Structure 1
Amino acid sequence: MSEKRWSERFEGAMGRLAVRNHRRPYQALLLALVLTVLGAFFARTLTLNADFVGLLPKGFPSVQDIEKLRKRFGGQGNVVVVGMGADPEVLKRFADDMAPKLGALSEIRYVSHQRPRAFFDEHSLYYVDVEDLVTIQDRIDARILWEKQQANPLFVSLVEEDPPSVDFSDIEQKYTGRANQRLSGQGDLYYINPAERMVVLMAKPRGSAADLNYSKKVVSQVEDFLATQDLSKYGPGFKTAVTGTFKKKIDQQRVIVEDLARASSLAMVLLLAYLAFHFRSALSVGLTMAPVMAGLGWTYGFVGLAYGQVNLLTGFLAAVLGGLGVEHGIHLLGRYTTLRSEGMTSEEAVDESFRHTGFSALIAALVAALTFLSLAMSEFRAFREFGIIAAVGMLVSIFSYVLLLPALLGLATRFGWSPRVQQENAAGPLSLLARWLPRSYRGVGIVVGVGVLALVSQAYRISFNYDSRTLEDYKQASAVLDQKVNDILGYSQTPVVVLTDSSEMEREVVRQLEARKVARGKESTIDFVGALADLVPKRQDEKQAILQAISAKLEKLDPERLPEATRNTLVRALNMAKAKPFTQEALPTSVRHQFESLDGSTGGVVLVYAGGVSLSDGEGTRKFAKEVRGLQMPDGSQVSAAGEALILADILDMVSREGPRILAAAVLSVLVAMWITLGKLRTALICMLPTLLSVVGLVGLMSLLGLQFNYLNIMVLPVLVGTTVDAGVHLVQRLGERGADFVSVYAETGRAITGGLLTSAIGFVALILAKHPGLNSIGDLANLGFGINLVIVLLGFPSLLLMVERWRRKHGAASEEQSEQPAPEA
């Protein structure tokens, strides 16, 4: 049996099923009601998870590392309290007042409000290598000898020379940038910015910012505490604000939830408005929207059952699927209306509509589902879940229309309703265009073809944007304030972490990372590395002996005989030389806290701070990830840093690697599916031509407009393949029917195609108005793609079909004339 006959049998089956539901509407509606109740039940507990970690498979090393980090070390980041609007002394008093009170809150482990400078300054010589201490001692000996010589009246110098220097800045410079110096910081003892009139307190929560409910709990506790404080004693203009990782997570979630509600509501309003304009009938709007709403309910019931939550992309899928689903209704109800106007009964019109137009819609839905499933190949969970849910949604949408629309039409007909004939088909813009195209198709085809070729020629210039800062809402007050806090600290609040099993491993990790930093020089992305084991220097007893000797010798120098700058250095060195050896327990509490596990134990934690790059810049993050991963330990084991920055690096690597493969899979799966369902490879290629030209044209237009792909909007390409291919299918299928007239078919199908593309675009239009820049970029690209496809499928593609048809007629007529001529006599 040929593929053609197989497709005809499938068409007949769809028609018969639709007729059955038309004859027995109550059974169909009861089944739909049961499915809707089940969908609502499973979808009732759906939540939104915007956490980066949730976008990668759980088996990924970076995900497993960060989960270990969270279990052992707790969440990264702080709840940061900022006091603003007072003079420095008042700000310091506020910090001193609030620190112990904040630290007493049940969800706060500790609070840092001062730099541990005094301790590290006092013990700074213990961080100097023994060899350099000996050098310092030699310089002091040389100066003492010179002083003695100058005090001896019998000593006569044969050459005039400067006194030996006791300046140790060159040795001090050698150790600049190490953890003890960076943690002690520069400037004021407090985390203060006098120019901004701000002071910062960093409160470390007990839980993780990845747990949104916990983030809300701890931030609310801090904000409620601040609300009860009498701030008037710090001045009339004094106020407080809360920022940090936990606060930013909440604000980001709030923005996305608001965007989700806004986009869904806007998409619904736009869909209803367009359908009212398209059908000019409230009942027709209801007949189109009822299957869509039911299908969305069933789809999100599946989401609740399969995943239990939605992510950044799948949360907005309802708006997108609503637009795509309405497209089927426009084609089906439009065809039904036309057939009724031609004299068919309701049952006959339902049979004919679902037999042909319904089959075309099924092909389009299957093709779209296969395209979406190509996204499921990705290890990036945001893409994979989007692909699976969208594929299910497309198939559910068709099932919903086959089940509900015939039943609703059957009920409406029983109550005496008959569709109003749309005058648009006779005198509307599409009818005028249908009559104009056959006269001007050559010029239109040339103009559109040249335009598409111009866009295609620019496609090679497209680039990928790795900077995730362009995809997040950095205009939020908490995000702006958080950046100011980082400027005050002098380093990021969220380093990546290497977990180790012993102090020896800690030192080895620090040694290797510092060696990598030195080897890369200015190209290094590491600012500094800190570990408790490394903050307690080795050979302290040996160093103490040298320092005692230095102290004794320094006391022999007369400060009054030294230059003022050197005199200050001498006094400072004398104080440092008197310092005693110390253990981990003697380190400042604010420092030890940073390396504590959740159970209060210390050690086994190495903090790695990025320098020279922003961990929001994807390209810099990828370089940083390479520099802090794959540390080989002496026992043969391997350790790597963990943190959300490394999750971002993995996402970027994955998307840039998988993007071409997913697009190729989408195109091939669509081609094979259409080949099977349409019966001929040539027909499948013809139907796909507008879509392929639209995708390549979009890439070219992006390069002309200065737009870039990113790890979110790159999924638009396979989505466009699946959502625009049905236009070519509907047009080719209708024109291929026996006795089809171009003008009437184009007017009717073109109107449905236009409506379908507009409603498909509506879901993405809603994303353009979202506050989240990453979602904006998806909406921008999708609607540019729909716009290009609309021009190609309404002007360029019909012109091409007319050219081919006229060429066939011409050569077919010539062949017939040649065959009718008598054969020459022998």
Structure 2
Amino acid sequence: MLALLLCGLGAFFARNLTLDANLVSLLPRSFPSVKDLETLEHRFGGIGWVAVVGEGAEPEVLKRFADDMAPKLEALPGIRFVEVQRPGTFFQDRALYYLSPEDLEDVERRLGARITWEKERAQPLFVPLVDEPAPSLDFSDLEAKYGVGAAQRMSGAGKENYYLDPLARRVVLLARPEGFSADLDFSHRIISEVKTLLDAQDLSSYGPGFKTAITGAYQKKLDQQAQISRDITVSSAVASVLLLLFLLLHFRSGLGVGMVLAPVVAGLAWTYGLVGAAYGRVNLLTGFLGAILGGLGIEHGIHLLGSYLHLRGDGLNSEQATRETFTHTGSAALTSAWVAALTFLVLGTSRFRAFREFGVIAGIGMLLLIVAYVLVLPAVLGLAARFKWRPGPGATAQVRSPLGLLLVRWRRPLTLVSGAVLVALTANMGRVRFDYDFGSLEDQHLPSFVLNRQVSDIIGYSQSPLVVLTGSPAEEHTVMEQLRTRQRQLGQRSTVDFVASLETLIPADQPRKQAILQRMGKLLEDVPEGRLNAAQRQQLAQLRAQTRAEPFTREALPATVRRQFQGLQGQSGFVLVYPAVSLSDGTAIRALAREVRAGASLPGDKHLPVAGEPMVLADILDMVTHEAPRILVGTTLAVLLAMWVTLGSLRTSLLCLGPTLVSLLGLVGLMPLLKVEFNYLNILIIPVLIGTTVDAGVHLLTQLVRPGKDFVKVYSETGRAISGGLLTSAVGFGTLFLANHPGLNSVGVLANLGFGVNLLVMLVAFPALLLFLSERRKSRPRRPNASAPAPSTSPPLSSPS
């Protein structure tokens, strides 16, 4: 009744649990990237776009669709503005103002020389004494010099004014929301409003087969969230079915399965009740803890109920078997649960919230599961006994394992072979790699991800710039100069594509430049147009128009351009840094963060806020890289200390921990052979494996060293339970194989490799070593006579200590 009451409370508090798959929420609020994002949200608003795509029509129809939809999108609440066309014409007409006065004078000299040359040859009586070539009008050097400027890049020089791909028959409208894509409630509301608007349009007016789609940061976040939610639902359901089938095969009794599952269900209900009360949500990793804790919890049930059934088979009544089970197997289960919980809690010291919450919830969950077994399982066994239930012969049957007999006979060669394999795998450990590619941890085949890459190709530069928040025009100027200088110094190694601010879009020395342009305009009036072909006459007309351009101020810039550099209240002071690297490349992201933060540092050790998701990703990678060794060492020492205190012997504790450490060495050495790499998600599996596999060593060793125990009998009973326990744990993590999210899938792959290696070590290498050590430590017997027992008889195993 108490267990049922606690289950009811747990279900009540867990009823409103939600999933938060946002990376930003996984970092502490004290981190610079998180604080800078909060500052950006209040001053600047959202970064990135809701990209509305129309496709399946000719260019003129696509342009009409874009013009029709722009005002409707801009009218939606939460949308600041919509960009339909590049500001190409504006910047093209004023392109010469972005050259330095010296370069403009150089252009004037080149034009003057060419015009003089053309005029001379236009005279019918002119006879050149020397056949000199025409002065070059190749301005490619200046185009290369100024073509990387912010105005030229944002204007899309040489491209269609609309964001249009005529070959793909696709046009893009870019809507800038007020809020952040990291705010999933806001993203869901904005995307729902845009979808409702698109659904209400009569698309048939744009031709048969015309269709629309949505992509951009906001849609990608929602698609990823939906994918992870589906993964959790499917994985949990599959894990439940697989565990149920395995328990039925293992115990061959429906009631036995219920006895194992009752404490697990109770423990999970209590755990998620606490999660709901303390956190109110689950993250990218803790969302799968139900399946993982279920597998780990069932492992205890296999050992406890298996021991109970074997004792009943030996003739003990229910109460005696229960007492004996919880005295011996129960103490081992308590030790292993405490050690596993401690391992998770060490992981909970991480500043990375994904790891911290995973560690805290899993640690508390392991303790609650063992409490549930102590509270629920004896009660269930007692109730079953009252109703005259007796285990069937299939459940209590004791089989002598052939592998146990093989180990007794071949203990020496098996120990040597196992040692040789371990040495070979350990030598291979140096080849293991860490995968810094965030793109490999996301499903790049989601429709919104695929379409977003195509939209980025149309735009021509990254949709996700970093934003440096300056406090004055002087700071804005300083940051711009520092970032440009650093970009020039790094050359090809720079991770910055271009830097833009309102300052860079307003050229300096405009009156001086206007005077030069006016002189150039007079030169162009005397060009003999009769000697020019059609393309050259068009170029001449464009150049004449550029020389007539008037100086301009910020207010003259197109509204869509100004609003990209203004905050929610229209304030300025923002420098946009457009990356030249893929935002899925973790190594490049870290270099980008260093380069931009260095450029945003002012005299007096003042660091201006630099906000953007790449900064968050860089902080995650830095934190995981720095914390991993500390957590690994801390976990190992905590586990060793906990077992030493619980078991009372350092030597026994080291022996119990040995198979786990050997398994980890073998796992890391095996990873390069199987092309498996570490990443910022699956790296947590290493400390998790320490805590979840050490119990097998505890169970095996504590059973084998009990006086008078026959090795093959103990190995058959305990080895079967160990196999079942590791398999159920593997099923818990193995459900992540079904996850479409590549990062979560990699967690399942690495975990099951670890369990597989540990199973081989526990069933072959460790028992063979124990037999070998026991043989070496026994006093050498005298030569047996003919009546001595055959050497193949299974010997009792003395304590290795």
| 637-646 vs 149-158, which moves further | 149-158
* Matching of residue 439 in structure 1 with residue 409 in structure 2: yes
- Between the aligned partners of 1:349 and 1:275, the Cα distance in structure 2 is 21
- Partner SS, residue 704 of structure 1: coil
- Between the aligned partners of 1:202 and 1:803, the Cα distance in structure 2 is 71
Amino acid paired to 1:687: C
Match of 2:469 among 499, 508, 532: 499
Q: Deviations over 1:472-514 (max 9, x none)?
A: 0111111111111011111111111111112232222222111
Note if contact 2:253-2:395 (Cα within 8 Å) is conserved in structure 1.
Answer: no
Match of 1:321 among 281, 286, 293: 293
- Partner SS, residue 189 of structure 2: helix
- Partner SS, residue 381 of structure 2: helix
Q: Give the unaligned 5+ runs of structure 1.
A: 1-28, 815-826
Aligned residue number for residue 105 of structure 1: 76
Amino acid paired to 2:266: A
- Partner SS, residue 109 of structure 1: strand
Match of 1:234 among 177, 192, 206: 206
Match of 2:602 among 629, 633, 637: 633
Amino acid paired to 1:628: V
Q: Report deviation, 1:444.
A: 2.7
Match of 1:761 among 730, 754, 757: 730
Note if contact 1:506-1:534 (Cα within 8 Å) is conserved in structure 2.
Answer: no
Q: Deviations over 1:776-796 (max 9, x none)?
A: 111011111111111110111
- Between the aligned partners of 1:247 and 1:537, the Cα distance in structure 2 is 37
Over aligned residue pairs, what C-alpha RMSD do you find?
A: 2.0
Aligned residue number for residue 609 of structure 1: 578
The aligned runs of 1:524-539 (5 Å cut-off) are 524-539=494-509
Note if contact 2:398-2:717 (Cα within 8 Å) is conserved in structure 1.
Answer: no
Q: Report deviation, 1:456.
A: 2.0
Aligned residue number for residue 529 of structure 2: 559
- Between the aligned partners of 2:523 and 2:265, the Cα distance in structure 1 is 88
State the TM-score, normalizing by the size of structure 2: 0.94
* Matching of residue 388 in structure 1 with residue 360 in structure 2: yes
Q: Report deviation, 1:85.
A: 1.1
Aligned residue number for residue 796 of structure 2: none
Amino acid paired to 1:87: E
Q: Deviations over 1:96-154 (max 9, x none)?
A: 22112222222322111211100000111111112212222333444455567668899
Q: Report deviation, 1:35.
A: 2.2
Aligned residue number for residue 337 of structure 1: 309
Aligned residue number for residue 668 of structure 2: 699
Q: Deviations over 1:405-432 (max 9, x none)?
A: 11111111112112234467533xx623
Match of 2:447 among 462, 477, 483: 477
Q: Could you say if the C-alpha distance between residues 128 and 813 of structure 1 is closer, same or farther in structure 2, counting changes exceeding 3 Å?
A: farther
- Partner SS, residue 575 of structure 2: strand
Note if contact 1:39-1:302 (Cα within 8 Å) is conserved in structure 2.
Answer: yes
Aligned residue number for residue 9 of structure 1: none
| 170-179 vs 467-476, which moves further | 170-179
Q: Could you say if the C-alpha distance between residues 483 and 155 of structure 1 is closer, same or farther in structure 2, counting changes exceeding 3 Å?
A: closer
| 334-343 vs 210-219, which moves further | 334-343
| 723-732 vs 169-178, which moves further | 169-178
Note if contact 1:628-1:640 (Cα within 8 Å) is conserved in structure 2.
Answer: no
Aligned residue number for residue 484 of structure 2: 514
- Partner SS, residue 603 of structure 1: coil
Q: Report deviation, 1:256.
A: 0.2
Amino acid paired to 1:665: G
- Between the aligned partners of 1:574 and 1:604, the Cα distance in structure 2 is 35
Aligned residue number for residue 456 of structure 1: 426
The aligned runs of 1:75-90 (5 Å cut-off) are 75-90=46-61
Note if contact 1:372-1:719 (Cα within 8 Å) is conserved in structure 2.
Answer: yes
The aligned runs of 1:330-369 (5 Å cut-off) are 330-369=302-341
Match of 2:692 among 723, 738, 746: 723
- Partner SS, residue 426 of structure 1: coil
| 444-453 vs 732-741, which moves further | 444-453
Q: Deviations over 1:603-629 (max 9, x none)?
A: 111111111x20111111111111111
The aligned runs of 1:377-416 (5 Å cut-off) are 377-416=349-388
- Partner SS, residue 410 of structure 2: helix
Q: Could you say if the C-alpha distance between residues 423 and 603 of structure 1 is closer, same or farther in structure 2, counting changes exceeding 3 Å?
A: closer
Aligned residue number for residue 243 of structure 1: 215
* Matching of residue 276 in structure 1 with residue 269 in structure 2: no
Q: Could you say if the C-alpha distance between residues 634 and 807 of structure 1 is closer, same or farther in structure 2, counting changes exceeding 3 Å?
A: closer
Match of 1:622 among 590, 595, 599: 590
Aligned residue number for residue 311 of structure 1: 283
- Between the aligned partners of 1:187 and 1:137, the Cα distance in structure 2 is 27
- Between the aligned partners of 2:666 and 2:116, the Cα distance in structure 1 is 82
- Between the aligned partners of 1:130 and 1:217, the Cα distance in structure 2 is 50
Corresponding pairs, count:
781
Q: Report deviation, 1:548.
A: 2.1
Aligned residue number for residue 296 of structure 1: 268
- Between the aligned partners of 1:684 and 1:178, the Cα distance in structure 2 is 65
| 774-783 vs 138-147, which moves further | 138-147
State the TM-score, normalizing by the size of structure 1: 0.91
- Partner SS, residue 548 of structure 1: helix
- Partner SS, residue 291 of structure 1: helix
Q: Give the unaligned 5+ runs of structure 2.
A: 784-801
Amino acid paired to 1:419: P
Note if contact 2:693-2:755 (Cα within 8 Å) is conserved in structure 1.
Answer: yes
Q: Report deviation, 1:44.
A: 2.1
Q: Deviations over 1:786-811 (max 9, x none)?
A: 11111110111111111111222234
Q: Report deviation, 1:722.
A: 0.6
Aligned residue number for residue 285 of structure 1: 257
- Partner SS, residue 398 of structure 2: helix
Amino acid paired to 1:618: G
- Between the aligned partners of 2:606 and 2:530, the Cα distance in structure 1 is 58
Q: Deviations over 1:245-301 (max 9, x none)?
A: 111111100000000111111111111111111111111111111111111111112
* Matching of residue 745 in structure 1 with residue 714 in structure 2: yes
Aligned residue number for residue 643 of structure 2: 674
